[in-house]
Amino acid sequence: MTTNTDWWKGGIIYQIYPRSFMDSNADGIGDLVGITSKLDYVASLGVDAIWLSPIFTSPMKDFGYDVSDYRDIDPMFGTLEDFKTLVMRAHELGLKVTIDQVLSHTSDQHAWFEESRQDKTNPKADWFVWADPKPDGSPPNNWLSIFGGSAWQWDSRRLQYYLHNFLPSQPDINFHNDEARQAQLDNMRFWLDLGVDGFRLDTVNFFYHSQGLEDNPALLPGEQKTMGAPHDNPYTYQRHVYDLSRPENLTFLQDLRRLMDEYPGTTTVGEIGDDFPLERMAEYTSNGDKLHMAYTFDLLNKPHSPDYIRSVIHNMQDIVGDGWPCWALSNHDVVRMTSRWGEGEDPVAYPLIAMALITSLRGSVCIYQGEELGLPEAEVPFERIQDPYGIPLWPVFKGRDGCRTPMVWDESKLGGFSTREPWLPIDARHLPMSVASQEADPQALLHKMRQLIQWRQQQPALVNGELTQLALENSDLIAYIREYESERILVVLNMTGQSQYASLPLAIKDIIDGHGFDSTLDDQSLELPPYQAFYAYV
């Protein structure tokens, strides 16, 4: 296994959604033994690490993001011994293991909350965010839950409201309480001692709230709704000043970094949902004393024109500075990229050029399971919807189940995922795109993805280099230089379905091949066929 303690910087992380990766015990739900059985496949892609979405003990009202025991595996997924075996096998294959950590809130079935809600004087009475009602009995302020309605839930035992930024069954921990705060750091140490190499920190800017409980201001007319929620959700109607991204968060992140530094080679990537996400990313990843990197949502939405992508790169360079982003095109919360960006595009060539984009940007990369196969968003009928976020907002927002359906390993009816009807249905369109089907076809997308990823991992400038954008005369092309030590690589991307031409404004020393793309350079005139990339030393 590599001894590079900065493996995460420019690293490629493969996200696994455990419920939907591989079912080993025929209950229709994926598990840790199933994941372990497929780690050879993941390693064959050439990635550096895996990221496991939540596997902790949970009532699963939000599919593991409602934790009832931070130090055990939910029986649905297996046991702690199964997890140790997974970590050992991953490390044998040269894969790092990162896991989700949901620190901002617990399940209402967590022992901490069950004690806290009993009365106002018990040892954990102040471990959660409690507040008295207004004189008329209404909630303390206007804060809203991302999942709909007020962020406050009445509790008849304490005759108080408790805060929940998500489901009412997900009470928020009070990070102003030093004991609660330390308990969460201790929980992270538990997993580090088991050999975990890093954490993806859920809602990393939600840890603290304003103790004054002030009302959030409404957005002014014409102000952009930028929060990471659908725009038909009233949550986006407020400017989130007092309920998240509080200044105290920085001190906690510094404490967290000191803990991580005790375990060389470990890393953190924070999920930031904020009105000003790039500013938060800069704040949370700067100076090398807080998060190692932060997850960016800028490529997880619908805009994807060359102008938009150039603006994202510019803003990242201008605002984030020495901070470090982690790019993704798909994950377990958004419509799959092949459907979101690639509708109407070539179903093989477009996912590949999109992968060329994020693997050549300055930053680290997350690939979501099935992305290497080019899977489109699955169709899930309303009667099979599981997502608590989607049910009340249907049909305008169908929830997140369409990107969470099981991985397809072969073309059999259940995709080789299970021998029993899975928890979410398999879209029949996915079956011909299965791993087995694509492995058998030398021209399939999977082979092209594997070639691109493995080639990129051998290019120090693409892994670690600084980025400088180039303005070409043809605005349909995206171009930049990646520079590391004495190596400078020019990257030009044609993400359109038409051939594109441009005169290059700098001399080419040598064209780089091995990545699988095709282009023609005549003197300084570049011809890029549809969905092709060009790489050269300059």
Please tell me the predicted confidence (pLDDT) of residue 493: 98
Please tell me the predicted confidence (pLDDT) of residue 3: 62
Q: Which residues contact 394 (CB under 8 A, 6 or more apart)?
A: 382, 385
* Mean pLDDT over each residue of the chain, to the nearest integer: 95
The answer to whether position 495 is within a domain reads: yes
Provide the domain limits for residue 495. 465-537
**Same domain for 495 and 433:** no
Q: pLDDT digit string (tens) for 30-43?
A: 999 999 999 999 99
Mean pLDDT of all residues in 195-217: 98
Please tell me the predicted confidence (pLDDT) of residue 441: 98
DSSP label of 47: -
3-state secondary structure of 457: coil
3-state secondary structure of 172: strand
The answer to whether position 324 is within a domain reads: yes
> pTM for the complete prediction?
0.95
**Same domain for 198 and 71:** yes
**Same domain for 333 and 469:** no
Spatial distance between the Cα atoms of 173 and 184, rounded to a whole number of angstroms: 10
**Same domain for 443 and 324:** yes
Terminal C-alpha separation, the chain: 33
What are the residue numbers of the active site? Answer: 202, 262
Please tell me the predicted confidence (pLDDT) of residue 187: 98
- Report the range of poorest mean pLDDT among 153-167, 202-216, 394-408: 394-408
**Same domain for 299 and 421:** yes
Q: Residues 99, 386, 399, CA angle at the centre, nearest 5°?
A: 80
Please tell me the predicted confidence (pLDDT) of residue 2: 43
**Same domain for 349 and 282:** yes
- Kindly tell me if the per-residue pLDDT of 279 is higher than 90: yes
**Same domain for 405 and 272:** yes
Please tell me the predicted confidence (pLDDT) of residue 220: 85
The answer to whether position 201 is within a domain reads: yes
- Which of 456, 476, 506 lies at the terminal end of a domain, its last residue? 456
Residue 307: its H or E element: helix 306-315
Please tell me the predicted confidence (pLDDT) of residue 327: 97
The band of 1, judged by pLDDT with boundaries at 50, 70 and 90, is very low
Residue entry with tokens 């030393």: 537
Bridge partners (DSSP) of residue 13 are: 49, 366
Strand blocks (E) in 267-418: 267-271, 293-295, 325-328, 364-368
**Same domain for 379 and 484:** no
Q: Are 366 and 10 in contact (CB under 8 A)?
A: no
**Same domain for 199 and 85:** yes
Q: Residues 58, 203, 76, CA angle at the centre, nearest 5°?
A: 20
Q: How far is CA 424 from CA 17, 19, 136, 217, 505, in A?
A: 13, 9, 44, 39, 51
Task: Give the domain CATH number at 17.
Answer: 3.20.20.80
- Which of 431, 456, 481 lies at the terminal end of a domain, its last residue? 456
Q: pLDDT digit string (tens) for 346-379?
A: 999 999 999 999 999 999 999 999 999 999 999 9
What six digits make up the tokens of 426? 């398999």
Query: Torsion-angle region of residue 478: left (phi > 0), alpha (psi -120 to 50) or beta?
Result: beta
**Same domain for 501 and 444:** no
Q: Which residues contact 222 (CB under 8 A, 6 or more apart)?
A: none
Residue 461: its H or E element: helix 460-464
- Report the range of poorest mean pLDDT among 59-73, 266-280, 391-405, 488-502: 391-405
Mean pLDDT of all residues in 116-137: 98
**Same domain for 313 and 188:** yes
The answer to whether position 158 is within a domain reads: no
- Kindly tell me if the per-residue pLDDT of 406 is higher than 90: yes
Task: Give the domain CATH number at 521.
Answer: 2.60.40.1180
**Same domain for 268 and 305:** yes
Contacts by 79-82, CB closer than 8 A, 24 or more apart? 79/32, 80/194, 82/31, 82/32, 82/33, 82/36
Q: pLDDT digit string (tens) for 408-445?
A: 999 999 999 999 999 999 999 999 999 999 999 999 99
The answer to whether position 226 is within a domain reads: no
Phi, psi of 190 (to 5 degrees): -55, -45
- Kindly tell me if the per-residue pLDDT of 229 is higher than 90: no
3-state secondary structure of 373: helix
Q: How many domains does the chain have?
A: 2
